[in-house]
Amino acid sequence: MVEIKTQLTEMLGIRYPIICAPMFLVSYEELVVAAANAGALGTFPLPNYRTMDDLKKALTNIREQTDQPIGVNIHLSGKFPWKEQLTLCLDAGVSFFITSLGDPSLIIEDVHRSGGKVFADVINLRQGLRAREKGVDGLIAVGAGAGGHGGITSTMVLVPYLKQKTGLPIIAAGGISNGAQMLAAISIGACGVISGTQFIAAKEAGASDAYKKAVLESGPDDIVCTDRITGNRASWIGSSIEEIDSIPDPNIRRWLDLWSAGQSVAQIESIQSAGEIINRMISEYQTTFAEVGITITR
């Protein structure tokens, strides 16, 4: 069985340095299990479950189907009952925590005591240095072109920049949906990649058929990065936000079909299972590695 060993795979005990991104209203148990059993790290955002009972049932369901490592995106801003969520996750053996809001130091001691790791989503050096001061184990460099909330710096620039300036392990995010892009990310210093957009179109994803169809039909020029939806820069499929300006009430906007996606829609042409996506990425990684074959002559 093929394995790709990096600092991330050694850290988490996974076969491939691929994280199936935690996507709001997309990543549920079925996708997490499929990604984990295929050798990647399956993750989900805790806000996908509105009550502690729902979260407990989801974790139980996942653990009945896989004993592989899994991760979550936890919000520490105070809007969610993160302490109760953390306890349930640790009890279920969650070993990887992504923080994007709030102070990661709030959970680090408990997570480390359970043998887990905490990585912070960051879009620039200022955020990276702040997260390092809080004691995180690594950073997720969310570059331009990423789905959801992302930065303005190219992933190819942000990854080595953060690695050099912080000295922490860096996971690359933004514009990664095939094995060649994964190889490029690892070549510039990433210990792994996080991929989301292509998994929106996975068979196991919780996205609607219309959302999946939009991902397949969109190109990179159809992705719009704007702060009009959430107040922060985020990437969306343009056709899904065309009417947003005509609806000033943010409470009504929440009920619209707003479809987040990144520029890597460029490489997504069919609906596949999560396992097929991961296996394809690994095959492309190996093929690209063999084909590069650079020779230096003097």
In a domain, residue 42? The reply is yes
Per the structure, how many domains does the chain have?
Answer: 1
Rounded to a whole number, what is the distance in angstroms from the first to the last CA of the chain?
A: 38
In a domain, residue 132? The reply is yes
Four-point Cα dihedral 151, 152, 155, 157, nearest 10: -130
In a domain, residue 291? The reply is no
Rounded Cα distance, 140 and 135, in Å: 14
Residues of the chain short of pLDDT 70, as ranges, are 1, 243, 245-256, 293-298
Around Cβ 291, how many Cβ atoms within 10 Å?
8
For residue range 113-136, list pLDDT tens digits in order: 999 999 999 999 999 999 999 999
**pLDDT score, position 73:** 97
Question: The whole model's pTM is what?
Answer: 0.93
* Length of the chain measured in residues: 298
CATH number at residue 150: 3.20.20.70
Residue 272: C-alpha distances to residues 43, 158, 203, 251, 254 (Å) = 18, 30, 6, 34, 29
**pLDDT score, position 150:** 87
In a domain, residue 204? The reply is yes
Rounded Cα distance, 105 and 81, in Å: 16
- Pairing relation of β-strands 138-142 and 170-173? parallel
Residues 6+ apart with CB under 8 A from 49: 55, 58
In a domain, residue 250? The reply is no
Rounded Cα distance, 193 and 182, in Å: 6
Rounded Cα distance, 152 and 291, in Å: 31
**pLDDT score, position 256:** 57
**pLDDT score, position 63:** 98
User: Which residue intervals of 222-273 are DSSP H helices?
Assistant: 250-253
**pLDDT score, position 217:** 96
- Pairing relation of β-strands 170-173 and 70-76? unpaired
In a domain, residue 231? The reply is no
In a domain, residue 243? The reply is no
In a domain, residue 234? The reply is no
**pLDDT score, position 255:** 46
For residue range 260-278, list pLDDT tens digits in order: 999 999 999 999 999 999 9
The two structure tokens encoding residue 140: 């997720």
Rounded Cα distance, 79 and 55, in Å: 16
SS3 content of the chain, % helix, strand, coil (to 5): 45, 20, 40
Domain residue limits at 156: 7-212+258-286
